[in-house]
Amino acid sequence: MVESTAGRRAPRADEEAVVTRLRAAGCVFAEDEARLLLESVTGPVLERLVRRRTAGEPLEQVLGWAAFDGLRLVVEPGVFVPRRRTELLVRLADSALAEAGVLPGSSAPAAVVVELFCGVGAVAAALLRRRPGLEVVAADLDPAAVRCARRNLGDRATVVGGDLVAEVPPQLRGRVDVLIANAPYVPTAALATMPPEARLHESVLALDGGDDGLDLHRRIAAVAGEWLSPTGSLLVETSERQAAATAGLFTAAGLVATVQRDDELDATAVRAHRVG
């Protein structure tokens, strides 16, 4: 998402006109959004993009890319837009690999990372930038998200379309060093209260977590243990309110679970691993 910047140059007349339209449409960071739009296109194309944005479409879908952990990732209309808070999963995964002794550029056998509910492949892409030698599989049920993930990850990862672990190569069972999931965790009844940008323009597959928001976390808990290596880690994004319940699901499944919180990112995740 766009954040305000300080020390900005004086806007041009055409930029001021775009800012005025964006501000009238309720865009909080209208100046920053106008700058990004004007840097991308001009003329009739710019007008089409401004109309899409003022109609409520997420800026990232309008631009065709989202910023995430220092990367620009391809984003198509209708797909889930990576949130900055999900960078916590990147940091936790990187730390888990470091604790396991995996060194960037190591000649040892590649560590295995699986990202479920990968969306556009944001976490996988960020990890591969830090650790290019990883063996990565990314999976999602949304065909548009799979297309984006394939563009963002290229030949550096295997991207599959399917539900949960259904299409993850079976030879990775018991070998996964880091299993990552940014599964939907919004309770079904709360979808109607989400910002229109998400509610109207992102796939419900990426938002709806069932009655209490934990349906997918239950399914992850049921299968994670058989996919993790003996020293592997499971990392799942959740909300601060739901974190204890998410951790309880993994504990009940025989894993050791801890809640991880980053106030700067306003992000919460649960990290779990096998007992012993």
CA distances, 223 to each of 33, 114, 165, 167 (Å): 42, 13, 8, 13
* Of 36-45, 48-57, 242-251, 254-263, the least confident: 36-45
Which domains, and CATH codes, for the chain?
13-55 (no CATH), 84-274 (3.40.50.150)
DSSP tag of 110: P
Query: What is the chain's mean pLDDT, rounded?
Result: 93
240 touches 66 (CB < 8 A): no
pLDDT on residue 43: 84
Question: Could you give the percent of the chain with pLDDT greater than 70?
Answer: 93
Distance (Å, whole) CA 256 – CA 228: 13
Question: Cα separation of 125 and 127, whole Å?
Answer: 5
Residue 73's beta-bridge partner residues?
Answer: 66
Q: In what order do the strands lie in the sheet with 135-140?
A: 158-161, 135-140, 112-116, 176-181, 228-238, 267-274, 255-262
What was the pLDDT predicted at 75?
A: 97
Confidence of residue 229 (pLDDT cuts 50, 70, 90): very high
Range in 37-41, 173-177, 249-253, 270-274 the model is least confident about: 37-41
**Contact between 18 and 47 (Cβ < 8 Å):** no
- The two most distant CA atoms of the chain are separated, in Å, by 64
Q: Which of 190, 175, 131, 192 is nearest to 157 (CA)?
A: 131
Q: What is the pLDDT of residues 78-119, one digit of tens each?
A: 999 999 999 999 999 999 999 987 766 654 678 999 999 999
What is the C-alpha separation between 37 and 127, in angstroms, rounded? Answer: 28
Residue 100 is predicted with a pLDDT of 83
Does residue 9 surpass a pLDDT of 60?
no
* pLDDT tens string 210-224: 999 999 999 999 999
pLDDT at 3 over 80: no
- What is the spatial distance between Cα 262 and Cα 264, in angstroms, rounded to a whole number? 6
pLDDT-based confidence at residue 10 (cuts at 50, 70, 90)? very low
Spatial distance between the Cα atoms of 246 and 238, rounded to a whole number of angstroms: 7
Q: Which residues of 259-270 are buried (b: 16+ CB within 10 A; e: fewer)?
A: ebeeeeeebbbb
* The overall pTM is greater than 0.75: yes
How far is it, in rounded angstroms, from Cα 33 to Cα 27?
Answer: 8
- Mean pLDDT along residues 147-162: 98
pLDDT category at 4 given cuts 50, 70, 90 is: very low
